[in-house]
Chains A and B, each alone.
Chain A
Amino acid sequence: MKPVNFDYYAPSSVDEALDTLAELGYDGKVLAGGQSLIAAMNFRMARPSALVDLNNVAELSYIKPTADGGLAIGTMTRVSTVEHNQDVIQRFPLLVEVAKFIAHPQIRRRGTFGGAIAHADPAGQLPSISMVMNMQALIKGKGTERWVAAPDLIIGPFMTVIEPNEMLAELVIKPHPPRTGAKYVQVSRQSGGYAQSAVASIVTLDENEICKDVHMVLMSVAEVPILSEKAREILIGNKPSKDAIEAVAEAASTSEIDPASDLHASADYRRSITRVLIVRSLTEAFERAKRGGK
């Protein structure tokens, strides 16, 4: 359990990092918090020939409120920083709720917000949350910059559209409309463990208690996180009644997911709890929407 030989670069600015990545091309791999990459390297499942360590790039670590009421989060911001940031707590309590489920405090102190998203682990919470919140990802290369919406960023298990000579620099979250509520729920065998299934919902109500908008992501029940179409079909324009929510749970858990059996859970069980979690997530999200997001 020792990694193979690799070159190590520790740039101190974004420009220097991008120069290094451009030079290295396919040989380079960005090191952020290292909570997944280092373990994979120790198992020799990942064998990058060079690491570009961003931990000395101070300018990548920040949480900035945006003028429209959203937030911009630098890629190297630690998950624990996000978890305890007042602007995050005020504007996007869902992120705080989710952060508590990400492994353990020690890992959250090292693991980074952008690193987790760029890693695109289908069992990781943050890639799913980036999708359901429709975060905008800023991808930088040497002399290039492009914006990609999170649902388009992640294209497969551990796969994104980020090129080897690029890096994820920032994530921008747009503010929620008024009367928006959100709820994350998961079932895992242990606290801090991988979820056997998880659901996050963000719902918006109009003044007549009609569902104006809904985004729901289903995690750990397919190769990639699933953004539910059924939830939108069934709920938008309708009252989010118990029956309607049950209908979403039934439709989504039977037709939108493709859970696998593994050591920790059978596919059947995963399907069954996904149904339960959809009901719990949507029900609470709508309750929170009624209370103005609280």
Chain B
Amino acid sequence: MTGKYFGNPIKRLEDKQLLTGNAKYIDDIEVPGQLHAAFLRSDFAHARILKIDVSEALKRPGVVAVYTAEDFGDFWKPGPLQVPPPTAIPGSKFNARTLVPIAKDKIRYSGEVLAVVIAESRYIAEDAFDDIIVDVESLPAVVDLEKAWEDSSVLVHDDLPSNMAALVTQEVGNYEEAKKKADVVVARRMLIEHVAGAAMENRGFLASWDDQNQVMTIWANTQSPLTVRGSVSRALGLAESQVHVITPAIGGGFGPKVMTSLTDDVLLPWISKQLKRPIKWVEDRRENFLATTSERDQVHHCEIALKKDGTILGFKDVFYHNTGAYDSYGMTVPLNTQTHIISNYRVPNFYTQIRMVFTNQMVVTPVRGAGRSEGVFAMERMLDFAAKEMGLSPIEIRRKNLLRADELPLATGITGQDFVKNTLDSGDYLGNFEKCLQAIEYDKFIKETQPKAQKEGKRLGIGVVAFTEGTAVGPYEGCKVTVSTSGKVTMTTGYSSQGQAHYTVFAQIIADQLNVKVEDVKVITGDTNHFAWGAGTFASRGATLVGTAALLASQKVRAKIFSTASKALGVPEDQVELGEGSVSIKGKPDSAIPLGTLAAMANPMRGVIEPGVEPGLEATAYYGPPHGSTGCGAMGVILSIDEETCKPVLEKMVIVDDCGTMINPLIVDGQLQGGISMGIGNTLYERLVYDENGQLLTASFMDYLMPLATDMPKKLEIIHNHAESSLKLNPLGIKGVGEAGAIPPGPAIVQAIEDAFADKGVEILETNLSPSSIYGYLKKVEHK
């Protein structure tokens, strides 16, 4: 389906505002009478609170109030489970220990909030930290995932018998039986490093209680404004109509902004109501690193069983997943890992176990990639190790096992993050891989380029991997489309936007249906007074769910345009022509009625409208898919590496991606580029490091390295390979693409680095590499 706008690479409508510095972010919002909050955070990762004395802080000029847990009385309680436990999986165990808004009795991670200071300025609020005396009894910190799992470990939650947050086992076929028949079994332990979401803009929250109107207005740069509205209204005993959540312009989400029940969204509305003053809090970068959520951090124990010819008979992966100190976000991340381990390949027997463990670290929730990259890494690396052991090329082993287009749809039997059994709906997984090999010129590289470079004393390496991206999970999203009497069109949705070009892509869909100019469609996202139904921005689901709802709503409006025009023009509907911005009788352009006028006719000030007809040119629609849709693709990397300094340079990357029909190829490319930069960052630069005391050593951009423009590959080729079988799950045939780019760079780059040192037999068992750690790997094999 291609229209005037749909499918075309039009430029983003929101960019002018963003690029000229005219977008209004949360820190730009000033409400008269506004006070500022600052959170005193714990330096200890694990400790018992003996006493917190705030009396001196209260004496400081400009300080209005200081709160510790006791001051909140009955209002203090552990937060809700934002995602329910995985009851859909038989036998699964889940210990819910949800986030508390402020530490009481016990501190469970470094950065947990101990006191909230409210002052006339943020400066004064931070000054007051010096006045607060915190007396604690320090406890040993639980940091290492595997040790934390042992019965002998110190406990993060004293009322639990162990640090087990969850234990979920899923099996299809029978792995142990398959293993008995295998010619080769390869086992490895691999580390998936801990990384941050690190959006350009940190979190922010402004709560303003209007005592006259009894309304709480909240500005929050959240990915889930409706969750915030629900939780605030429940906590304060208000009707949802008394809580108005507005998302201003947001500088990136990447996952952590989906999290609620943190200090800001729980306590600030309560404080605003108490003090009858607006309270603003804008997180600083140190807080973001310390205390907002992060992701990855798994230890995988994998086994792959194969026939002599490389055919996979079975795969086993028991992995530890760090959930941090609390598990309010349930099991989304490790369940994504479980589904993605086997989602590219024919694996008849699969055993997988999640050992989700509490530690004295910040909470883990989805970050772009969100468990998928971990699963893909585990499988791709195991294929590399197996290929090496069997003397096969990494290409051969993948060709043999990749799913072909005619094998889909395929039910994998593994339940995913949406608690629905995973179905690989469509795509040509093997075809993607072959296209990638061609584009990266794999054969030429192996036969000519690499040997030639080697003769010149240069080391080059190549890596090629396959991936899938589970996207567009339910439950549903919706929107309302309205034609104004000015002829302009407004679309409102509960979905919130953090830079994904929603203002452009939704407008493209609607503009084609209503035959208006795309710039005449105004999209309003994430304002609960405009539209109050939906789940939130996550799992690459906006284009598919909201996009389809936009199609359905605008189709209803289109039908109404025709029925209204038929009456106005006095001709049957099939004689009505919808021109750009107007309706007319076919063949009689003089009869044209502007769309705005028609909208006014549909909402008459006198006279009557017929029973059963709703006023206006307006319609609401919802869309929920039966299950998520799976994007797929392949990635190839060629890199060079200086043997003496071990510094890799990405010479060329190719990504082949199938995200179904594209609403806007320019925006799809942007999503892929952004994702790839994140994948590169995760592999070569970014790493959250905790020491043995649970102290985060990387709480600034001086120590936590973000990928830069200069770290991008010298060449990047993007190939769209939409399978003929294209998705029939939704009317537009769309799959998500928000996370695709972030998934394959890890295993592809690591494979390429191993390849560059193939003669030395280097084997890499982790996701994150620095020149120094590559040097360490080389030293290890030299000393063997």
Where the two chains meet, the residues of A that have a C-beta atom closer than 8 Å to any C-beta of B are 1-5, 43-44, 187, 189-194, 196, 263-266, 268-270, 272-273, 276
Interface residues on B, range: 20 to 34
Report whether B122 and A264 are in contact in the complex, using a CB–CB cutoff of 8 Å: no
Partner of B286, one of A1, A269, A270: A1
8 Å CB interface, B685-717 against A? 685, 687, 689, 697-698, 700, 702-703, 705, 708, 710-711
Where the two chains meet, the residues of B that have a C-beta atom closer than 8 Å to any C-beta of A are 122-123, 126-127, 284-286, 644-647, 684-685, 687, 689, 697-698, 700, 702-703, 705, 708, 710-711, 770-772, 775-776, 779
Chain A residues with CB under 8 A of B702: 194
Partner of B685, one of A2, A189, A268: A189
Report whether B775 and A269 are in contact in the complex, using a CB–CB cutoff of 8 Å: yes
CA separation between A193 and B646, bound complex, in Å? Answer: 16
Given contacts A2-B122, A2-B123, A190-B685, contact A265 B708 (CB under 8 A): no
Given contacts A2-B122, A263-B698, A273-B645, contact A191 B772 (CB under 8 A): no
Identity of the chain A residue whose Cβ is nearest the Cβ of B121 in the assembled complex: A2
Seed contacts A196-B771, A273-B771; 4 additional CB < 8 Å A-B pairs: A1-B286, A4-B127, A189-B705, A265-B772
Report whether B711 and A266 are in contact in the complex, using a CB–CB cutoff of 8 Å: no
Smallest CB–CB gap between B603 and chain A, Å?
52
B126, B689, B698 pick with most chain A CB within 10 angstroms: B126
Chain B residues with CB under 8 A of A3: 123
Smallest CB–CB gap between B60 and chain A, Å?
11
Chain B residues with CB under 8 A of A263: 687, 689, 697-698, 703
Chain A residues with CB under 8 A of B710: 190-192
Chain A residues with CB under 8 A of B775: 266, 268-269, 272
CA separation between A273 and B776, bound complex, in Å? Answer: 13
Smallest CB–CB gap between A57 and chain B, Å?
27
CA separation between A269 and B778, bound complex, in Å? Answer: 11
Given contacts A187-B645, A187-B647, contact A265 B771 (CB under 8 A): yes
Q: List 30 A-B contacts (CB under 8 A).
A: A1-B126, A2-B123, A2-B126, A3-B123, A4-B123, A4-B127, A5-B127, A43-B286, A44-B126, A187-B647, A189-B684, A189-B771, A190-B685, A190-B708, A190-B711, A191-B708, A191-B711, A193-B705, A196-B772, A263-B687, A263-B698, A263-B703, A264-B770, A264-B772, A265-B770, A266-B772, A268-B775, A269-B775, A273-B645, A276-B645
Chain A residues with CB under 8 A of B703: 263
Report whether B771 and A269 are in contact in the complex, using a CB–CB cutoff of 8 Å: yes
Report whether A192 and B708 are in contact in the complex, using a CB–CB cutoff of 8 Å: yes
CA separation between A43 and B287, bound complex, in Å? Answer: 11
Identity of the chain A residue whose Cβ is nearest the Cβ of B36 in the assembled complex: A2
Report whether B123 and A189 are in contact in the complex, using a CB–CB cutoff of 8 Å: no
Identity of the chain A residue whose Cβ is nearest the Cβ of B707 in the assembled complex: A190
CA separation between A1 and B39, bound complex, in Å? Answer: 11
CA separation between A29 and B365, bound complex, in Å? Answer: 43
CA separation between A191 and B286, bound complex, in Å? Answer: 23
Chain A residues with CB under 8 A of B122: 2
Chain B residues with CB under 8 A of A265: 770-772
Chain A residues with CB under 8 A of B698: 263
Chain B residues with CB under 8 A of A192: 708, 710
CA separation between A192 and B710, bound complex, in Å? Answer: 9
Closest 9 CB pairs of A and B: A1-B284, A265-B772, A269-B772, A191-B710, A276-B644, A2-B123, A269-B775, A187-B645, A2-B126
Chain B residues with CB under 8 A of A43: 286, 700
Chain B residues with CB under 8 A of A266: 772, 775-776
Smallest CB–CB gap between B683 and chain A, Å?
12
Smallest CB–CB gap between A162 and chain B, Å?
25
Report whether B644 and A189 are in contact in the complex, using a CB–CB cutoff of 8 Å: no
CA separation between A43 and B126, bound complex, in Å? Answer: 11
Chain A residues with CB under 8 A of B644: 272-273, 276
Identity of the chain A residue whose Cβ is nearest the Cβ of B711 in the assembled complex: A190
Smallest CB–CB gap between B507 and chain A, Å?
34
Chain A residues with CB under 8 A of B772: 196, 264-266, 269-270
Identity of the chain A residue whose Cβ is nearest the Cβ of B284 in the assembled complex: A1
CA separation between A263 and B771, bound complex, in Å? Answer: 12
Report whether A268 and B771 are in contact in the complex, using a CB–CB cutoff of 8 Å: no
CA separation between A264 and B127, bound complex, in Å? Answer: 33
CA separation between A189 and B771, bound complex, in Å? Answer: 7
CA separation between A268 and B646, bound complex, in Å? Answer: 13
